[in-house]
Structure 1
Amino acid sequence: MPDPLIILIALACGMVSRAAGLPALVGYLLAGFILHELGIVASSLLHTLSDVGITLLLFTVGLKLQPRDLLQRVVWGSTVLQVAVLQVFFLGVFYAAEWLLPGVQIGFSGKLVAAFALTFSSTVFVVQMLQERGEASSRHAALAIGILIIQDLLAVLFLAVSAGKVPGPEALLLLFLWPLRGLVLRLLTLCGHGELFTLFGLVLALGGAQLFELTGIKGDLGALIIGAALAGEQKAKELSRNLMQFKDLFLVCFFLSIGLDGWPRGELVVLAVLIGVFALLKPPLYFLVMTRLHTPPRTALLASLSLANHSEFGLIVLALAAQQGLVGDEISAALSLAIAVSFVLASPLGRNAHQIYRRWQPWLQRFETDTVRATYPDTRNARILVLGMGNIGTGAYDSIAEHYGSQVVGVDENRRKLARHRREHRRVVAADASDPDFWRRIDLASVELVMLALTNHAENKLVGRLLEDLGYRGRIAAVVRFDEEAEELEKHGISAFNLYAQAGSGFAAHAAEHLQAAPDSTARES
């Protein structure tokens, strides 16, 4: 069967999976199993594209590396403790499986590697789920993604060590790449924002990986290092967004190739399903650790529930272990089935995360520490709230603060951004706009206007529904980009400002002012 037809079947299975409310990744794994049953064998092209997907995955991970964020105790502490506990737990699961299922036999080294692979959560799944819910910029998203990045780093280090490659002396020449960072950033700026920019990003990832391979360092690790060298720059963020779709597309081939390796045998199917169910142990473990490290219960719960799955990175680790004879190929097949089961279970948890918190809020609040209580934002005497202090929110704040002064409060989660606003003497607080606990601490009866400058339609809807549930009777205004978004919000009583449509009229008014001022200035000069 030609590869285009394989991709077509993957598309169909992905659409069916999405229609069923599950991640498309589940459909891709299923497509691989179906193709295997039909006697289809993956071609070299499919494996090549799979390798490209892995390289791009690590490159984009590198682009997101922010040492300051990763060094937070709650991020690295939660990751290390979770990996240690689950490593021991899954090691026990494999020993128990050998005793209960005689057909399952895995060596000690294989058990260690498989248990390590199961400690990860899926970066692709979590990011896609958070983006679909409009929460990619939230505090709990930043916490979850920070944990995922550290997990990915641990996996990359394992891959580099396991590959058994000893770098040659020429690897020292790679240190001279760092002075080229400024040049690379200037070239990225020169490329603009279109296809040339994306193509340059692909060259950096794939070419960099090949360069590291030539010096005896695993290419995937090289891609991550090159991405990390660019991290923190605006162009790196844009490049990560542009490459995200390419990376996800090529990873489809990776999931297909895993499924094409076939189903695990009967005993391993049982073990795979159990391992998939055991992914539900991750949220309570994360929640306990996060709250003990002074994370608000709501943030800890939402971040923990998003991590209730196993990772595709585990398949990469096991694939390398299989090449070295530590585990059999059927163990990789079993883990792919376990990942699919974990995705199926994690999807409803993610969709209903906010409802779960509201249902159990009184009990969950018992885990809140005194340190967290001491950081409650001060919103006393607030009459107007501006949610989202980016360029649009800052402009709105400055304009309305001319009339209302300190009664205007800006709300954002970005600590560095808030520090700049405070230096510029704006009244701002650190909070998650979608956090019901934040709104319950505000005297909503005295708030006359809430301005949603979030530019994320899903998040605007979420905050609007939350305020409606809390009985807010004041006015709400929101920034939108499309007419259908404005219509949807206005049905719920939210005044919508179409950013693109209104920008045109604002630009015309600005030009007209200069046009009217021109004759006066000419007359004065004469």
Structure 2
Amino acid sequence: MADPTHAAEVAHHGFDLVPVVILLAAAVITVPFFRRIGLGSVLGYLAAGLAIGPYGFGFFNDAQSIIHVAELGVVLFLFIIGLEMQPSRLWSMRGEIFGLGALQVCLAIFTLIWVGIALGYPVAASFVAGTGFVLTSTAIVMQMLQERGEMAQPKGRRMIAILLFEDLAIVPLLALVAFLAPGGAEATLTDRLQSVVIGLGAIGVLVLAGRYFLDPMFRLLARFGAREVMTAAALLVVLGAAVLMQAGGLSMAMGAFLAGVLLSESSFRHQLEADIEPFRGLLLGLFFLGVGMALDLEIIAHNWVIIAISVPAFMLLKMLVIYVVARLTRASHSEATERMVLMAQGGEFAFVLYAAATQSGILTSEWNANLTAIIIISMVLTPLMLIVQNRLRKPGDPSMEGVDAARDLSGNVLLIGFGRMGQIISQPLLARGYNLSIIDTDPDMIREAQNFGFKVWYGDGTRLDILHAAGIHHADLIIAAPNDRDAVTRMVEIIKHECPLTPVLARAFSRQHMVELLKAGADYPVRETFESALDLGREALVRLGDSPEEALDTLRSVRENDRERLALETTGGIYAGRALLQGMVGANADQKPNGH
């Protein structure tokens, strides 16, 4: 049996795991609870940090050291975002990044500096304070967009473009801090040019390394290295790029983002994302925990009047600017409102800017502490504001700006629903020159479709009056393809009752739904995933050694079995004749009874 005294000495002199256990326990207990009650994971991390910090249970006293380590979470997060941004896609966003982003940042800086001036602070200090608040929290916004599934949507892409410009803006802003510092104006032009050249040189080195070195390196490691070596190489690329950018006077996050962009077209992109993701999630959560710990309640208590005025003043003015810019750039009211609420807070780069301004003598230590508290409070308030916005938003009452209601349409094909399936259905019809009348109930999608040259009318296909306005009696063919199972069934019932001779093709969501549609009168229901699943199955057989002819024979057998089962499932065989005509419907022979 081991000596207890020796074990105690080892525990005393070894690595102390207690803080790690406390951090993990706080996250594991708090975050699921906050997500369960609808408050989101970000607010859960912030609350957990406050609970275990110096003003909670007091397990930690140095929140800044944790934040410095956890900033790697933001770095890794931007690397993963960069992996999703191929250079061609990033180039297509240049107008949004340097147009929309620059407009919002410049207008917000001009507006927010007046808060400090109105409170009696010097112009230089007011400029730094307002500028820091302009820099939105990349971590919070990205996390919220990811949780809401909006990162790939156009409105999410526009917010990402603004965040990218703000990350780029930290470089000239830090240079401005040096210029505004006492004696900063005496810096020579040579010094400033040297800083610019160093920054551009760092970017150039990173671009060259990404183009000629990174992909061959990963190819070599994949051939001779172990799995853990690939993970180590992925971390090396991210952190190496971050250090290089920092050495060039740029932000670490921007370096990680550029590294991700350079590897976005690599064949190892998905492997890199899988290797980095666990570290990213843990460190990003640790960052929010650190922010919660850093909320200094003593400073808030001593300066509560200034903070109570500054937080709403900064947030309301920034929200006003964001909304105005969004509307000037033709965003809908709903998108502008969501953007202003989501981006109303200050960000983590403000801490860097305020620290540099304090070292330069622009801000005093007390001002820095107050501004840090203001930023943190704004970060804490953002998830709460989103919850309030979601509760106040009236369901089914979207902005109709720029959207035309269906009326007097006369296309020979009526397509109801222009989502991911409707868009594909329309392509062969348009290619053959057919005249389509397209209706949908999503105003955001209708506005976005206009940007690609599609005319989509607003209309609910479950209402008979709308179907009349959409030209139901003029159509030679009707396709029901909205992303709503019950709506498709209702549409088929109404259409077949009103126009029993008009063929109706319908999108089915499961096997049972397909049977429902047949009973409702649909002439050709197709389950949305069936053909793509069969195509994957055919390719799998070929890759496993079957000849293409054998694979096709197998698929024909699967289809035949499916037709027979479908005929048996329909009531009394009434619909068996129609079911037997369905050469491209149904489910796999091993499909579970629920059809999912």
Whether 2:181 is the aligned partner of 1:150: answer no
Give the corresponding residue for 2:454: 429
Separation in structure 2 between the aligned mates of residue 318 and residue 202 of structure 1, nearest angstrom:
29
Query: Which runs of structure 2 are paired with 1:13-32 in the superposition (5 Å)?
Result: 13-32=30-49
How far does residue 44 in structure 1 lie from its aligned partner after superposition?
9.0
| Alignment check: 8 A CA contact 2:300 2:373 kept | no
- Provide, for residues 246-301 of structure 1, a one-character-per-residue CA deviation record: whole Å limited to 9, x for no partner: 43431222233333332233254454455444535545543433333344555545
How far does residue 45 in structure 1 lie from its aligned partner after superposition?
7.3
| Alignment check: 8 A CA contact 1:59 1:226 kept | yes
Whether 2:329 is the aligned partner of 1:293: answer yes
Separation in structure 1 between the aligned mates of residue 349 and residue 234 of structure 2, nearest angstrom:
22
Separation in structure 1 between the aligned mates of residue 410 and residue 318 of structure 2, nearest angstrom:
35
Separation in structure 1 between the aligned mates of residue 410 and residue 289 of structure 2, nearest angstrom:
52
| Alignment check: 8 A CA contact 2:234 2:272 kept | yes
For structure 2, which runs of at least 5 residues remain unmatched after alignment? 1-17, 180-190, 496-504, 554-596
Whether 2:156 is the aligned partner of 1:141: answer yes
| Alignment check: 8 A CA contact 2:67 2:291 kept | no
Whether 2:255 is the aligned partner of 1:222: answer yes
Change (3 A) 1:10 1:379: farther
Query: Which runs of structure 2 are paired with 1:159-238 in the superposition (5 Å)?
Result: 159=174, 172=201, 175-183=204-212, 184-185=214-215, 200-213=233-246, 219-230=252-263
Query: Which runs of structure 2 are paired with 1:322-337 in the superposition (5 Å)?
Result: 322=358, 326=363, 327-337=367-377
How far does residue 154 in structure 1 lie from its aligned partner after superposition?
1.5
Whether 2:507 is the aligned partner of 1:477: answer yes
Separation in structure 2 between the aligned mates of residue 187 and residue 45 of structure 1, nearest angstrom:
34
Match of 2:354 among 306, 311, 318: 318
Separation in structure 2 between the aligned mates of residue 465 and residue 93 of structure 1, nearest angstrom:
52
Give the corresponding residue for 1:36: 54
How far does residue 46 in structure 1 lie from its aligned partner after superposition?
3.1
CA RMSD of aligned residues (A): 5.5
- Provide, for residues 33-89 of structure 1, a one-character-per-residue CA deviation record: whole Å limited to 9, x for no partner: 3221233224897355313224324444555475534432x6644433433443344
| Alignment check: 8 A CA contact 1:379 1:442 kept | no
TM-score, scaled relative to structure 2: 0.60
Separation in structure 1 between the aligned mates of residue 134 and residue 307 of structure 2, nearest angstrom:
15
Match of 2:127 among 101, 112, 117: 112
How far does residue 336 in structure 1 lie from its aligned partner after superposition?
0.4
For structure 1, which runs of at least 5 residues remain unmatched after alignment? 99-105, 423-427, 453-459, 519-526
How far does residue 340 in structure 1 lie from its aligned partner after superposition?
0.8
Separation in structure 2 between the aligned mates of residue 27 and residue 136 of structure 1, nearest angstrom:
21
Change (3 A) 1:287 1:233: farther
Match of 2:385 among 342, 345, 367: 345
How far does residue 328 in structure 1 lie from its aligned partner after superposition?
2.6
Give the corresponding residue for 2:576: none
Where relative contact order (Cα < 8 A, 6+ residues apart) is larger, the structure is 1
User: Which one has a bigger Cα radius of gyration?
Assistant: 2
SS of alignment partner, residue 137 of structure 1: coil
How far does residue 500 in structure 1 lie from its aligned partner after superposition?
8.6
Query: Which runs of structure 2 are paired with 1:503-522 in the superposition (5 Å)?
Result: 503=533, 507=537, 514-515=549-550
Give the corresponding residue for 1:457: none
| Alignment check: 8 A CA contact 2:115 2:126 kept | no
Separation in structure 1 between the aligned mates of residue 45 and residue 254 of structure 2, nearest angstrom:
26
Between 297-306 and 336-345, the greater mean CA deviation after superposition: 297-306
Give the corresponding residue for 2:101: 79
Match of 1:383 among 408, 414, 427: 414
Separation in structure 1 between the aligned mates of residue 151 and residue 129 of structure 2, nearest angstrom:
30
TM-score, scaled relative to structure 1: 0.67
Between 197-206 and 211-220, the greater mean CA deviation after superposition: 211-220
Change (3 A) 1:393 1:383: closer
Amino acid at match of 1:31: A
Whether 2:58 is the aligned partner of 1:49: answer no
How far does residue 136 in structure 1 lie from its aligned partner after superposition?
3.1
Amino acid at match of 1:80: A
Between 470-479 and 258-267, the greater mean CA deviation after superposition: 470-479
- Provide, for residues 154-180 of structure 1, a one-character-per-residue CA deviation record: whole Å limited to 9, x for no partner: 135435776899659798486354344
Separation in structure 2 between the aligned mates of residue 255 and residue 141 of structure 1, nearest angstrom:
22
Match of 2:283 among 230, 250, 275: 250
Amino acid at match of 1:10: A
Match of 1:93 among 93, 97, 115: 115
Give the corresponding residue for 1:524: none
Number of corresponding residues: 469
Give the corresponding residue for 1:68: 91
Separation in structure 1 between the aligned mates of residue 410 and residue 333 of structure 2, nearest angstrom:
21
Separation in structure 2 between the aligned mates of residue 90 and residue 465 of structure 1, nearest angstrom:
49
Between 396-405 and 130-139, the greater mean CA deviation after superposition: 396-405
